[in-house]
Structure 1
Amino acid sequence: MKKILLIEDDKIIINILDFLLKKEGFETHIATDGIQGIEKIETVLPDLIISDIMMPFKSGLEITLFSKTNYPNIPIIMISSLGKEDQTVVEVSNLGVDDFIAKPFDPTELVKKVKHLLQTNLV
């Protein structure tokens, strides 16, 4: 069973994604701030990370930098209410984020991206 780490501070988004991913047969782990996210990357060693950019304590930028430095093979999907042209989104993309989805988004579309990245990366 593939492990997905959800790093998101919006409880509604977490609940929706947690439900949908479990329904698709994934094991989910949740972090509601950037510090928890980094800790769970190390303890869970997920097969894929889904993270918001704007997080309490540590940003998606810091989470991405930590993950890609220490675990470069773990794919990351970044979600954000920032536009694709926003400088923070550009910086995260330059750090190696594998995919980006803007809020609001269709949760089933995110699940499709998860499946695609896990097949592509053969994680």
Structure 2
Amino acid sequence: MKILVCEDDEMVLKMVEFKLRKDGYEVQLAGDGKAALDQIRSFQPDLIITDIMMPYLTGLEIVHQVRKTLNLATPIIIVSSIGLEKTVLEAFQLGADDFITKPFSPNELSVRVKKLLMKTA
């Protein structure tokens, strides 16, 4: 299974990458929204994990692009330090499948990833 992680915080990116590779996933990384969209088109991930606040395109814009422009049903987990109800609701309205507030446990993320991938298998 292929997972794309879109995150501009290098520490979070490395932590998530390490945990997911340890879990046996093929992981691709993107440090900004533009790179994320390029990766989605070329890598065709089975799941996308994206931060909200990123350069070029936000995580919410990525969700919108994946659902409306690319018309993909790829599961998307939003990760953000912005836990505002308005932001969470907007993420789900745009088509996100899950939302995790930072800081989070790599083990919690791992469980949520497995759950979403089992639904789509």
Query: In which range does the TM-score fall when normalised by the shorter chain?
Result: over 0.9
Structure 1 SS opposite 2:77: strand
Equivalent residue number for residue 102 of structure 2: 103
Question: Which consecutive unaligned segments of at least 5 residues does structure 2 have?
Answer: none
Structure 2 SS opposite 1:28: strand
Equivalent residue number for residue 116 of structure 2: 117
| Residue 91 (structure 1) shift | 1.4
One-letter amino acid matched to 2:10: K
| Residue 68 (structure 1) shift | 1.2
| Residue 47 (structure 1) shift | 0.2
Equivalent residue number for residue 47 of structure 1: 46
Q: Given the alignment of the two structures, is residue 79 of structure 1 paired with residue 76 of structure 2, yes or no?
A: no
| Residue 84 (structure 1) shift | 4.0
Root mean square deviation of aligned Cα: 1.0
Verify the 8 A CA contact 1:78 1:99 in the aligned structure 2: yes
- TM-score computed with the length of structure 1 as normaliser: 0.94
One-letter amino acid matched to 2:46: D
Moved over 6 A (4+): none
Deviations 1:62-117 (A, max 9, x none): 100111121432000000001141x3332121011000000011111001100110
Question: Which consecutive unaligned segments of at least 5 residues does structure 1 have?
Answer: none
- TM-score computed with the length of structure 2 as normaliser: 0.95
Equivalent residue number for residue 27 of structure 2: 28
Verify the 8 A CA contact 1:21 1:28 in the aligned structure 2: yes
Give the count of matched residue pairs.
120
More displaced, 71-80 or 29-38?
Answer: 71-80
Change (3 A) 1:59 1:107: same
Verify the 8 A CA contact 1:84 1:102 in the aligned structure 2: no
Deviations 1:5-50 (A, max 9, x none): 0000011111111111011110000000000001100000000000
